Amino acid sequence: MTSPSPLPVTAPLPPVLALIGNTPLLSLHFPELQRTIYAKAEFLNPSGSIKDRLALTLLSDARARGLLRPDSIILECTSGNTGIALAMVGSVLGYRVQILMSEKASVERRHLMHHFGAELILFKADRGYVTGIEISEEMAARDSRYFLPRQFENPLNAQDHVDHTGPEILRQTDGRVDAFVNGYGTGGTLNGVSRALRAACPGVCIVAMEPSEAAMLSGEAPCCHSIEGIAGGFLPPLIRGVPIDRREKVSSEEALAMTQRLAREFGLLVGTSSGANVVASLRVARDLGPDARVVTILCDRAERYYSTRLFGDVKPH
C-alpha cells in the first residue's frame, strides 16, 4: 500500500466534510395516534450515520493538538458506524486507518470500511469486545504511530453534541423541546444533546430508550437483541452523566416493524435503532399530549443491515 500523506492542518478541508452535521429535523405524523414527532435525519451524514460528527471532531482536535503526526495510524475497535465514519474522515484527511472488529461483524460494514480505504483487523468473535480494546491498547503500547480515538471514554464524544447537535435542534424547534428520546451505544449522543437541551429548556423530559432484551438501565441482565448499534452489553461511562427522567424499553420486534414502516410509509431508509427511537418517542408523545414536541434521532442508513433480520427474504409476487 502507498503511504498516505496527511492534509496539512492549515489546508482547506475536503468538501465532503462540509456535509457533516446541520441535518434536517423531519416532522413525522402518525394519524392513527394523532401525534407528530420530530426526527433528526442523521442518516444523511456523508458516511451514513451520526458518527461522522464524532469522527470529524475527534480527528480535527487531534490534528490541532499535534497528536496526529504525518506517520500516525488511526486505530479503533468498533464494528459499527464509528468505524465507517473514521474510515471515511481519516482517509480523506490522508491518514492510515485500521479498524479492529470481531470476525462476526456484518459483511456490509466490512465492505464499507474497506471501500473507504481502512485496513481491517479481525479477532475471534468468542473473545468479545473487551478483547478488541485490549488488542488496540497492546498495539498502541508497541508502536507509537498508533493514535486511539477511544470513543467510549473521550469527553469530546458528548461535547460535540453539546456544541452542535443540541444547538441545531434548539434552532430547528425555536427553542421549545418537551422531550428528547434516544438509545445509547457509547451514550455520547444522549449525554451531549440532553445537556444542551436541559440548559435551554429546563423542563425537557430526557428519555433513554433501550432494548427490552437488554434493559440494563432498568437493572436487567443483557441478552441478545436485534437493535444494532445500541446496548452493547455494558453501561458505557458516558451514560452516567445523563439526566435521565424516563426509560423506555422497546423490543426487537417492535423496532424492526417500525423501521420497515418508516421505509414504506415515510420513505426513510434507516437502521433498526431509528425505528426503536420512533417507537419510544410515540409512547412519550402519547403521554405528553398532541402539542408536545418530542425529538428523536434517525441514527443511520438501512443499507448496512442487508444481512440482518431487517431485510427478510425478498419473495417475488
Ligand X SMILES: Cc1ncc(COP(=O)(O)O)c(C=O)c1O
- Examine the residue annotation and report whether 40 is marked as an active-site residue of this protein: no
> Among 21, 185, 211, 275, which residue sits at the site for ligand X (rule: CB under 6 A)?
185
How far apart CA 247 and CA 153 sit, in angstroms, is 23
Q: And the C-alpha cell for 108?
A: 456490509
Q: How far is the CB of 34 from ligand X (least distance, A)?
A: 28
Contact status: 193 vs ligand X (CB under 6 A): no
Q: How far is the CB of 150 from ligand X (least distance, A)?
A: 13
> Among 149, 166, 211, 229, which residue sits at the site for ligand X (rule: CB under 6 A)?
229
> Among 45, 79, 154, 186, which residue sits at the site for ligand X (rule: CB under 6 A)?
186
> Among 100, 162, 299, 310, which residue sits at the site for ligand X (rule: CB under 6 A)?
299
Contact status: 132 vs ligand X (CB under 6 A): no
> Which span (63-71, 87-95, 133-141, 187-195) binds ligand X, by CB under 6 A?
187-195
Query: Looking at beta carbons only, is 230 or 250 nearer to ligand X?
Result: 230
> Which span (101-109, 115-123, 173-181, 182-190) binds ligand X, by CB under 6 A?
182-190
Contact status: 21 vs ligand X (CB under 6 A): no
- Examine the residue annotation and report whether 273 is marked as an active-site residue of this protein: yes
Three-state secondary structure readout of the chain: CCCCCCCCCCCCCCHHHHHCCCCCEEEEEECCCCEEEEEEEHHHCCCCECHHHHHHHHHHHHHHCCCCCCCCEEEEECCCHHHHHHHHHHHHCCCEEEEEEECCCCHHHHHHHHHCCCEEEEECHHHHHHHHHHHHHHHHHHCCCEECCCCCCCCHHHHHHHHHHHHHHHHHCCCCCCEEEECCCCCHHHHHHHHHHHHHCCCCEEEEEEEHHHCHHHCCCCCCCCCCCCCCCCCCHHHHHCCCCEEEEECHHHHHHHHHHHHHHHCCCECHHHHHHHHHHHHHHHHHCCCCCEEEEECEEHHHHCCCCCCCCCCCC
Q: How far is the CB of 51 from ligand X (least distance, A)?
A: 6
> Which span (33-41, 94-102, 183-191, 245-253) binds ligand X, by CB under 6 A?
183-191
Contact between 259 and 244 under an 8 Å Cβ cutoff? The reply is no
Q: And the C-alpha cell for 36?
A: 407528530
> Among 230, 250, 258, 302, which residue sits at the site for ligand X (rule: CB under 6 A)?
230
Contact status: 184 vs ligand X (CB under 6 A): yes
> Which span (1-9, 108-116, 126-134, 184-192) binds ligand X, by CB under 6 A?
184-192
Contact between 201 and 175 under an 8 Å Cβ cutoff? The reply is yes
Q: How far is the CB of 226 from ligand X (least distance, A)?
A: 12
Residue with the three cell numbers 443491515 = 305
Contact status: 300 vs ligand X (CB under 6 A): yes
Contact between 66 and 11 under an 8 Å Cβ cutoff? The reply is no
- Lay out the site mask for ligand X across 56-85 (x = CB under 6 A, - = otherwise): ------------------------xxx---
Per CB under 6 A, which of residues 250..289 are in contact with ligand X?
271, 273
Q: How far is the CB of 199 from ligand X (least distance, A)?
A: 19
Catalytic residue among 47, 49, 51, 249: 51
How many chain residues interact with ligand X (CB under 6 A)? 18
> Among 23, 189, 194, 226, which residue sits at the site for ligand X (rule: CB under 6 A)?
189
Q: Of 101, 238, 102, nearest to 183 (Cα)? A: 238
Q: Which residues are catalytic?
A: 51, 273
Binding positions for ligand X, rule: CB under 6 A: 51, 80-82, 183-190, 229-230, 271, 273, 299-300
